[in-house]
Amino acid sequence: MTSAAPAAHDRATVPALPRSRGELSRTVRRALTRPAGTPLPQRVTAVHADPYGDDLQLALYLCYELHYRGFAGVDSGWEWEPGLLRLRAEMEHRFLSALRADVGSPRKAEEALADLLVEPVDADVPSQFLKKRGELWQFREYAAQRSLYHLKEADPHAWVIPRLTGRAKAAMVAVEYDEFGAGRPERIHAQLFADLMADLELDTAYGRYVDTAGAQMLTSVNLMSLFGLHRALRGALVGHFAAVETTSSPGSRRLAHGLRRVRAGPAAVHFYAEHVEADAVHEQIVRRDVVGGLLEAEPALDGDVAFGVDATAWTERRLGDHLLTAWRNGRTSLRTPL
């Protein structure tokens, strides 16, 4: 079944298709410019693709965005087109298998969450660098990359709500209610990040910086979409959510400090200052009631929760290493400079 492309008045909120980065992303992009159901080339495969490379990660991103806002001019029937879903499943298998191998041996959720609470004073992470000696151009790059996540903040985590019950569901909805502004559109966290971007003189359009962001950022964004779209990975998505909420408050404090230091503007500072307090509260709710409630109802998901925590930490470390390597060498972390 096919349906109409986005109306002209929707194009301000529906991004354009990004440029391809290889055979996989070129195949998916080309397909999306045609009517839904157009056959994909049978020869295209992800079997030997770099699971963390630009090509596979962008191709996955193109597939996943069909479940968010889609792309301008793209037939919305592609969202559930069987041929595209088959290729997506192959790419997901490649990605998920690599993650499981790189994250390491399975462990308990309690152990994985406990590790998040211990951070060395001299932790080698982007927020520490930006707090102490980051320059305004580096904050702008950081915001441009992070916009791929923050302009849809909380959306992929909402997919887990119908898959939870009782205490876990009630707590998850309570935290998501805050993330979505507690009934006030100007307080939606995605809107607060758009305000930060405006303070940094960046384009606030959804999806604007996909072409400039590297594979490391795409990997972090795709991780939560992968977990969110599969009911079988609901435990991993809860682990991802717990990891984000647990590490957000200290990192946000450092970033707010750094933004004040470079005189970035009140909206830029406010986004992170808001997360210092809010996520400190959210962390307790998520650990006690979302994770605790889920494992009380489904104890067999303990290892999945731990995998979600560890996979999140692994992809974030990889992104952090990329950013710091570039900045310490005085060069841009982006594919193309702002």
Checking if the pLDDT of 43 tops 50, the result is: yes
Enter the tokens of residue 5: 């492309």
Residue 175 covered by a domain: yes
Checking if the pLDDT of 7 tops 50, the result is: no
Q: Work out the pLDDT band at 12, boundaries 50, 70, 90.
A: low
Identify whether residues 43 and 154 lie together within a single domain. Answer: no
Identify whether residues 151 and 300 lie together within a single domain. Answer: yes
Residue 74 covered by a domain: yes
Identify whether residues 113 and 246 lie together within a single domain. Answer: yes
Residue 3 covered by a domain: no
Residue 293 covered by a domain: yes
Query: Which of 81, 102, 123 finishes a domain?
Result: 102
Residue bearing the bigger pLDDT, 247 or 333: 333
pLDDT of residue 13: 83
Checking if the pLDDT of 242 tops 70, the result is: yes
Q: What is the C-alpha to C-alpha distance for residues 80 and 77, in angstroms, rounded to an integer?
A: 6
Identify whether residues 79 and 135 lie together within a single domain. Answer: no
Q: What is the C-alpha to C-alpha distance for residues 108 and 68, in angstroms, rounded to an integer?
A: 32
Residue 280, class by beta-carbon neighbours within 10 Å (0-12 exposed, 13-18 middle, 19+ buried)? middle
Identify whether residues 162 and 305 lie together within a single domain. Answer: yes
pLDDT of residue 4: 42
pLDDT of residue 295: 98
Task: Decide if 17 contacts 72 (C-beta within 8 A).
Answer: yes
Residue 60 covered by a domain: yes
Q: What is the C-alpha to C-alpha distance for residues 34 and 78, in angstroms, rounded to an integer?
A: 9
The rounded mean pLDDT for the chain is 93
DSSP 83-100: HHHHHHHHHHHHHHHHHH
Identify whether residues 152 and 56 lie together within a single domain. Answer: no
Task: Decide if 238 contacts 231 (C-beta within 8 A).
Answer: no
Identify whether residues 98 and 215 lie together within a single domain. Answer: no
Say which residue the tokens 């490391």 belong to. Answer: 216
pTM for the model stands at 0.93
Identify whether residues 238 and 297 lie together within a single domain. Answer: yes
Task: Decide if 217 contacts 54 (C-beta within 8 A).
Answer: no
Identify whether residues 125 and 228 lie together within a single domain. Answer: yes
Domain containing 315 equals 108-328
Q: Work out the pLDDT band at 270, boundaries 50, 70, 90.
A: very high
Residue bearing the bigger pLDDT, 133 or 249: 133
- How many domains are contained in the chain? 2
Identify whether residues 93 and 223 lie together within a single domain. Answer: no
| 289-311 mean pLDDT | 98
Identify whether residues 90 and 17 lie together within a single domain. Answer: yes
Q: Report the candidate in 225, 239, 215, 216 with the shortest Cα–Cα distance to residue 312.
A: 239
Query: Which of 102, 120, 137 finishes a domain?
Result: 102
Over the stretch 86-138, which tens digit does the pLDDT of each residue have? 999 999 999 999 999 999 888 999 999 999 887 655 568 999 999 999 999 99
